[in-house]
Amino acid sequence: PTGLVVIFLPLALGYLLPLVPRGLWWRWLLYALESNGPAFVKLGQWASMRRDLFSQEACDRLARLHRHVRTHPLAHTHQLIHSAFGRPVEQLFARFDPEPVGSGAVAQVHRAQLLATGEEVAVKVLHPHVRDFILRDLRILRALASWLQFLVPSSRWLALPDSVDQFARVMTLQLDLGHEADNLERFRRNFSLSSSSSSASSSSAPAPAAVSFPRPYRALVSADVLVESYERGRTVDCLFHHPDRRTRAAVAAVGLRAFLQMLVVHGFVHGDLHAGNVLVRSTGDDDDGNGNGSGGGAGGSAGGGSTGDSPSLCFLDVGIAVSLSPRDQANFLALFTAIARGDGERAGALMLRQASHSDCADPRAFERDVGTLVASVRDTTLRLGRVRVGEVLQRIMGLVCEHRVRIESNFAALVASIMVLEGLGRQLDPDLDILATALPMLTVELARKQALGIVDAATGWTGRAR
């Protein structure tokens, strides 16, 4: 933490005082974020998506972190591949591009062609010493969480240490590319099954071909190296200034439906949905585009071409994912449904029932406050262009602290994912109606869980109070 003060205090002074030219200051900030480890790169990636909170210049500058983090030497890549598979690069690949197509927080990606089959693949390789950097970052975050909890006692109801512990678990798993291969297969299986089940019962589910994920080559997967199918397309940020509003709206709708499918139906949510991790394709696309430089959400240079009338999305870099137990998923579904239906007091009651610990002195007051907040949101139909979702979530967190209701760390992780989704949705289609998209899927899934006895039809409660 002391080192952070030494690095970032001069940056803050340089920003507040006209001591450093603005262009140089931004290069200085990017260098500081990259130098301080993957967790700080992730923070910059998140900030770049929050155009409701930060200036356009800040978001544009920080967007560089999606795919242009400093690369490591080619010799390190060759060494890791040889160590992982017992053979040099020349015996595995007919072609191996020396320049990475992209570099992210924990790894970089090279484009290659398999020697055995001629298939085009993406080869993801961890950066040197990345595990040491992650462990250091996690120690810093734990210290900051403890200090904040000591300085602001009410913040303990946000379960910050638990959230850091959960972040530590997912970041540690991200350092095992074999785990990412497992996640890829799970996402591919979920959306394959959805094409014959959820899609049939809900008009809000994405069409089967609208969502895809790279295919891992199991014989070429290790903790340090992941070989997966090379996916063509362009990162979604290429559309932020697209002149055709209908194109942007169509892409936003597919993305939102896919996210809701992960959350509401699958209980398995991509936890790193920044713009660099989403490729856009269409039936009319035959250009090379960015490709899946999925090393921490990295892509290559922007490609041309049109997205056409039938856009599809390919999600990359699935090392971070939020997995909900059946009980947690059902609880979140009941809470989300209550909010979507405008029943804020019921939502407050559900939050109290699901809290792992609570010293709430006046539960009815908490329920009324949540009811007032939800009513204000419901009145505007949750349109991204009119409602600041991040601001609403901050107000909910404020109520949680004020009334001493301890939330689950999984809930905090989902809140972070939704805030990033808001950034993407706002840039593509400010008029995207979350409520209209979510309600049909929520209604179908809630009815299914009620039929199975997972959710009580009368109360909306699941399981037993903790």
Active site members: 272
Report how far apart, in Å, the C-alpha atoms of 26 and of each of 47, 67, 103, 230, 351 are. Answer: 14, 17, 19, 33, 41
Six token digits for residue 4: 């952070």
Six token digits for residue 93: 């690949």
**Side chain identity at 130, as an amino acid letter?**
V
CB burial string 325-360: b at 16+ within 10 A, e below: eeebbbbbbbbbbbbbbebbbbbbbbbbbbbeebeb
Return d(Cα 207, Cα 200) in angstroms, integer. 10
Strand 120-126 relative to strand 211-212: parallel, antiparallel, unpaired?
unpaired
Q: How far apart are the first and last CA of the chain?
A: 36
Return d(Cα 158, Cα 193) in angstroms, integer. 36
Return d(Cα 52, Cα 69) in angstroms, integer. 24
**Number of C-beta neighbours around residue 172 at 10 A:** 14
Return d(Cα 380, Cα 386) in angstroms, integer. 7
DSSP-H helix ranges across 241-325: 245-260
Contact predicate 187/318, CB 8 Å: yes
For tokens 């999600």, the residue is 315
Return d(Cα 336, Cα 333) in angstroms, integer. 5
Contact predicate 355/399, CB 8 Å: no
Return d(Cα 451, Cα 433) in angstroms, integer. 28
Return d(Cα 14, Cα 304) in angstroms, integer. 38
Residues in Cβ contact with 296 at an 8 Å cutoff, skipping those fewer than 6 apart: 38, 41, 69, 103, 104, 105, 106, 107, 317
Residues in Cβ contact with 23 at an 8 Å cutoff, skipping those fewer than 6 apart: none
Six token digits for residue 409: 């760390």
Contact predicate 455/334, CB 8 Å: yes
Q: How many CA atoms lie within 13 A of 421 on its CB side?
A: 23
Helices 409-428 and 38-48, axial angle in degrees (round to 10): 50
